[in-house]
Amino acid sequence: MVQYSYFPGCNLKTDARGFEKSAIAVSKKLESELVEIPNWNCCGTVHTMTSDNLMKRIAPVRILARSRNHIEELEDTLNQAVTLCSMCNSTLKIVNKEMKEDLDALETINFQLEEDNETYENDMEVKHFLEILRDSVGFSKIREKVVKPLIGLKISAYYGCMLLHPDEAKIDDAEMPSVLEDLVESLGAESIFSPMFKHCCGSYHIVEDEDIVTDQVKKITGDVLSRGANALVVACPLCAYNLDQQQKMLMEKTGKKDVLPIFYFSQLMAIAMGEPWEINHFEDHKIDPRELLKKLKIEE
Amino acid sequence: MSYEYIKFGPEERDFIAKIEEISGQNIYSCYQCGKCSAGCAFSSRMDKTVNQLIHFIQMGQKDRVLEANTHWVCSSCLTCSIRCPREIDVAALMEAVREYILREEPEKVKISELSKEVIEKLPNIALVGNFRKMTG
Amino acid sequence: MSKTKTTLKKKKEEKTGMVKIYIMGQAYDVPETLTIMKAMEYAGYKFTRGSGCRAGFCGACSTVYRKEGDFRIYTALACQTIVEAGMVLTQLPFVPADKPEYDINSLTPSANTILRYFPEVARCLSCNACSKVCPQEIKVMDYVQYCLQGQISKAAEESFDCVSCGLCAIRCPAEIPQYHVAQLARRLHGKYLMKTPDYLDIRIKEIKEDKYKEGFKEMMALSKEKLEEKYKNRDRESN
């Protein structure tokens, strides 16, 4: 069993626990087990784009240092820290590149970490779980493990920003990616393209100016629905919350009936591979995907 | 078409230098192609588009830059940065303007005034991200 | 007997060495065996704030110091730490931290609850400045992160030794009052997450069924003398 050092990120233990549990379950089935780093801290979600603030880079470097220590305990592993959250993917990759290019900054940060007996020596790579699935596991192997093909699901892939931006973080071509579509098709579902696939959901503006997010969600879901999709697949807990909660809010406010339930890609995999549904924690979703699944006669 | 005379002295130069220092970008690389504004998902909400704001920075017009809402509406999606033909990290320029303000007045979002009920419903990732970008 | 006498005499002849320390910038020579708190009192300071149990438990005597020629910041509880030559110290008799009001009975143990009352926890930079100054050697950053992640029980366990001295809160760049956050986490853990031992449930049941009602009634009716007698003749575990 290949094992990967897995970095959850702050939301994967709370709102996105279904994402984590389903991902760990399918990772075991695909013999590429995600093993959590025992002692991790928040990466900061959005990376600081200032050139002069080292304080905000300490957290990601610390994570990489801890991941490096962690892989000593794993079997058959690589120098890779694997994330499920797209924002963690972007932040960690950017900082990793910055540390490789600015050794002075790394040295200063290592001074801070030294007191906790940790050092980062630029010897880790950061991968998103989708990259592992595509490059190390392979879609044909995933296809083999499917016992309940997701017939009837017309899924539009919503990448969001951080899986594809910036250049050092992208897991696929930034303007025409295909990894989520390929994954969805390997599970037996139909993939529907929408040009809104990376139209920003509004991200952290949900805190102080909900209108911004509402407008974005309307644009995205409006286009996706007009193309005949019946669900969205995402890889970022913040996008998932924004799309889910805003649609629910609009549904209650305007009485609009057609909504798109949001799935994390690992939840789709878990259903298709016959895992028990409780690990997906569908009850946490604001728009319950089980209604759609029932309608399409996709059962546990 | 109207013309306006603007001042371009040491204060203006200081402002440009500060923005360049915080962002690590060369502000004069921009030749105003407008691709950043075209790709920006929030352009319709901005009173000055991204490229207009950059032009103001190039002219050192600090007050006009600080009056705009461009950098606050920005959600750091980085679409502008990956599309810039001059390879300017445009999002870093937006961040530099935000930091320029936050380093003096750290409370764009007044955390103590956010409703407790709202905070309780939001996912922790949203709070972390928002406070990183909007508080100092 | 005589041996003890000679030993005592010898001890009196040994003179305690003195060291120079600086209390709020003023130099004093104090005996090297004293704790910071005793040394300050030796130097003539009288504690009306910043002193409590004198036993390392109440967290009142938080002290910040540097050593001559050393740029590092050190922290200590004054009642527990012996002076060192060249110490340049001051005290923090009070650390301001807003403590929100909450009704523990109406809360759920989750990250959202912690963030509701302490949204600044989301600003944590994971810089670890807090853990470095903790006089109890608690991994403060770790428990704040556990709170952010919703792992309330882990946070409660990690912060168990906290004496609320406030040193972490004063160093925090994100301006989090770590010890208040930890207290909420411990309360949530104790009320909702910690398993109660079975025998506690049994005893509570017995009390509710009035098993001890008669016994208490009897005791309450006794005179002082009768109570003393009962006490002297109580069941004792013999060694």
> Are C95 and C36 within 8 A, CB to CB?
no
Choosing from C67, C91, C115, the residue where a domain stops is C91
Q: CATH code for A2-130?
A: 1.20.1050.140
Quick: pLDDT tens for C105-156: 999 999 999 999 999 999 999 999 999 999 999 999 999 999 999 999 999 9
- The verdict on C168 and C137 lying in the same domain is yes
Quote the pTM value.
0.89
- Our CA-based measurement puts residue C127 at a distance from the nearest CA of chain B, in whole angstroms, of 14
Tens of pLDDT, residues A217-252: 999 999 999 999 999 999 999 999 999 999 999 999
Query: In whole numbers, what is the pLDDT of chain A averaged over residues?
Result: 94
Structure tokens at A263: 């799935």
The reply to whether residue A116 touches residue C131, judged by beta carbons under 8 angstroms, is yes
| Residue C21 included in any domain | yes
- CA of A202: which chain B residue's CA is closest? B75
What is the rounded (10 degree) CA torsion for C173, C178, C181, C185? Answer: 130
Sign of CA dihedral A21, A23, A24, A29: positive
Q: Are residues C54 and C122 in the same domain?
A: no
Q: What is d(CA C177, CA C170) in angstroms, rounded to the nearest whole number?
A: 8
Its domain, for residue C53, covers 16-91
Same domain for C66 and C37, yes or no, is yes
Task: Indicate if the alpha-carbon torsion angle B127, B128, B132, B135 is positive or negative.
Answer: positive
Nearest C-alpha neighbor of B77 from the set A21, A204, C87: A204
CB contact under 8 A, C149 and A10: yes
A116 touches chain C (CB under 8 A): yes
Percentage above 70 pLDDT, chain B: 99
Parallel, antiparallel or unpaired: strands A231-234 and A154-157? parallel
C215 found inside a domain: no
On whether both C155 and C186 belong to a single domain, the answer is yes
pLDDT digits (tens, 9 = 90+) for C63-95: 999 998 899 999 999 999 999 999 999 999 899
pLDDT at B74: 94
pLDDT digits (tens, 9 = 90+) for C144-186: 999 999 999 999 999 999 999 999 999 999 999 999 999 999 9
Residues C164 and C85 in one domain: no
CB contact under 8 A, A208 and B96: no
Q: How far apart are CA A121 and CA A113, in angstroms?
A: 12
Residue of A208, A220, A281 to mutate, interface with B, max B Cβ within 10 Å: A208
Q: How confident is the model at residue C83, as a pLDDT?
A: 95
Give the rounded percent of residues in chain B with a pLDDT score beyond 90. 84
| Same domain as C128, residue C177 | yes
Task: Provide the pLDDT for residue C8.
Answer: 56
* Domain contains C74: yes
* Contact state of A46 with B129 under an 8 Å Cβ cutoff: yes
Q: Which of C99, C102, C112, C149 to mutate to test the interface with B (most CBs of B within 10 A)?
A: C112
- Structural domain includes residue C64: yes
Instruction: Give the domains, in start order, of chain B with CATH numbers.
Output: 10-105 (1.10.1060.10), 107-136 (no CATH)
Residue A208 sits at the vertex; the CA angle it makes with A202 and A210, to the nearest 5 degrees, is: 50
Cβ–Cβ below 8 Å for C123 and B131? yes
Closest CA to A237 of A2, A22, A4: A22
Give CA separation, C187 vs B112, C108, C153, C182, in Å: 23, 11, 10, 8
Which of C193, C209, C233 represents a domain boundary (last residue)?
A: C193
* pLDDT of C236: 82
For residue C179, tell me if it sits in a domain: yes
Arithmetic mean of pLDDT, A204-225: 94
Q: Using one digit for the tens of pLDDT, what is the confidence trace for A7-42?
A: 999 999 999 999 999 999 999 999 999 999 988 999
Cross-sheet strand order for the sheet of A190-192:
A190-192, A154-157, A231-234, A262-264
Tokens 């409660």 locate to C156
What's the total number of domains in chain C?
Answer: 2
Tokens of residue C132, six digits = 């470095």
All partners of chain B with 3 or more CB pairs under 8 angstroms: A, C
Whether C120 has its CB under 8 Å from any CB of chain A: the answer is no
SS (H, E, C) A114-183: HCCCCCCCCCCEEEEHHHHHHHHHCHHHHHHCCCCCCCCCEEEECCCCCCCCCCCCCCCCCCCCCHHHHH
Looking at the structure, tell me whether residues C111 and C55 fall in a common domain: no
Q: Compute the distance between CA of residue A157 and CA of residue C206 in angstroms, rounded to an integer.
A: 60
End of a domain among C170, C193, C216? C193
List the alpha helices (DSSP H) in chain A: 17-29, 55-70, 86-101, 103-114, 129-131, 139-144, 179-186, 205-208, 210-226, 237-254, 265-272, 289-295
- Containing C165, the helix (H) or strand (E) segment is none
| Same domain? C71 vs C111 | no
One-letter identity of residue C111: A
How far from B27 is each of A264, B31, B56, B93, CA to CA, in Å? 40, 10, 10, 8
Residue B88 · residue B29 · CB < 8 Å: yes
Q: Are residues C188 and C121 in the same domain?
A: yes
Distances (CA, A) of A211 to A63, A91, B42, C157: 34, 26, 12, 41
- Contact status of B115 with chain C (Cβ, < 8 Å): no
Provide φ and ψ at C92, rounded to 5°.
Answer: -120, 85
C102 touches chain B (CB under 8 A): no
Closest among A137, A36, A125, A123 to A80, alpha carbons compared: A125
- Using a CB-CB cut-off of 8 Å, the residues of chain A touching B122 are 206-207, 241
CB C98 within 8 A of CB C117: no
Closest-CA distance, B128 to chain A, in angstroms, reads 7
Tokens linked to C90: 């001051």
Mutate to test the interface with A, among C72, C114, C127, C143 (most CBs of A within 10 A): C127
- What is the C-alpha end-to-end distance of chain A, expressed in Å? 26
- The minimum CA-CA distance between B21 and chain A, rounded to whole Å, is 7
Give ∠ CA A114-A118-A124 in degrees, rounded to 5: 130
Q: How many CB pairs under 8 A join B and C?
A: 36
Q: What is the CATH number of the domain that holds C166?
A: 1.10.1060.10
Residues 113-142 of C with CB under 8 A from B: 113, 115-117, 119-120, 122-123
Report phi then psi at C75, rounded to 5.
Answer: -135, 160
> What CATH number has the domain bearing residue C34?
3.10.20.30
- C132 lies in the same domain as C166: yes
- How high is the pLDDT of residue C4? 54
H or E segment at C89? Answer: strand C87-91
φ, ψ of residue C120 to 5 degrees: the values are -65, -15
Residue C217 lies in a domain: no
* Domain spans, chain A: 2-130, 139-295
Report yes or no: B110 at the C interface, CB cutoff 8 Å. Answer: no
**C-beta atoms of A41 and C132 within 8 A:** no
pLDDT for C1 beyond 60:
no
How far B126 CA sits from the closest chain A CA (Å)? Answer: 5
Residue pLDDT, tens place only, B69-115: 999 999 999 999 999 999 999 999 999 999 999 999 988 989 888 99
Residue A292 reports pLDDT greater than 80: yes
DSSP state of C16: P
The CA-based dihedral angle spanning residues A90, A92, A96, A99, taken in that order and rounded to the nearest 10 degrees: 110
The token pair at C238 is 């013999």
Q: Which of B52, B105, B96 is nearest to B76 (CA)?
A: B96
Q: For residue C234, what pLDDT is reported?
A: 87
Task: Tell me the CB-side half-sphere exposure of residue C60, using CA atoms within 13 A.
Answer: 12
ipTM for this model = 0.91
Point out the residue among B21, B109, B124 whose CB comes nearest to the CB of A14: B124
* pLDDT tens digit sequence for A64-109: 999 999 999 998 899 999 999 999 999 999 999 999 999 999 999 9
The CATH class of the A139-295 domain is alpha beta
Strand ordering across the sheet containing A32-36 = A32-36, A2-7, A80-83, A125-128
What's the mean per-residue pLDDT of chain C?
91
Amino acid at C20: K
